[in-house]
């Protein structure tokens, strides 16, 4: 993608003497990355930081991220908090109800690897990646809203770097 200035033949025909040359693929990926609609899956203390990120101080909306209450309207799940074995099938069901392409962000130590419950609890999943494929991991207990914003920017970069054939997987 780029801007070509001062084309010798078309300089008078195009206002300003410049055109934008890009591919359909890059337009689709840019559109997808800049309009992520997310579904919250908050189960514990990390969910408080997740909700703070969507509030006015940190303002997810400026990144094009809009909260949706339905998995059928979402293309991103942000999972935050302890994931128990009873919650795992529900998380998987929500993930399966989402349309392709779909993405997952795992936020917090409990979501990423089980956190402090890793050795002491039989009822806690030892990481969300056993249930759904994860695109971005955000460690911390709980991670700050700035970390979640950085994770979302990382996901946007990943989406922009994809190929259209990757959506078919």
Binding residues for [4Fe-4S] cluster: 45-46, 110, 141
- The rounded distance, in Å, linking the Cα atoms of 113 and 74 is 25
Shortest CA distance to 60 belongs to which of 157, 158, 149, 155? Answer: 149
Instruction: Mark out the alpha helices in 34-144 (DSSP H runs).
Output: 46-54, 88-97, 109-113
Residues annotated within the binding site are 45-46, 110, 141
Closest CA to 31 of 164, 160, 165, 169: 160
The kind and range of the H/E element at 147 are helix 145-161
Calculate the CA 139 to chain-centre distance. Answer: 15
């Amino acid at each position: 993608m780029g801007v070509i200035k001062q084309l010798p033949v078309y300089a008078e025909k195009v206002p300003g003497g410049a055109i934008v040359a890009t591919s359909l693929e890059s337009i689709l990926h840019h559109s997808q990355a800049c309009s992520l609609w997310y579904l919250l899956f908050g189960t514990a203390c990390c969910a408080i930081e997740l909700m703070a990120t969507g509030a006015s101080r940190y303002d997810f909306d400026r990144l094009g991220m809009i909260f949706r209450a339905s998995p059928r309207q979402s293309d991103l799940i942000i999972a935050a908090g302890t994931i128990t074995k009873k919650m795992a099938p529900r998380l998987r069901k929500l993930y399966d109800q989402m349309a392709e392409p779909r993405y997952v962000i795992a936020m917090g130590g409990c979501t990423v690897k089980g956190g402090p419950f890793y050795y002491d609890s039989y009822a806690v999943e030892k990481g969300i990646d056993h249930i759904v494929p994860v695109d971005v991991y955000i460690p911390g207990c709980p991670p700050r809203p700035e970390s979640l914003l950085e994770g979302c920017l990382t996901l946007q970069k990943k989406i922009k770097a994809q190929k259209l054939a990757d959506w078919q997987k």
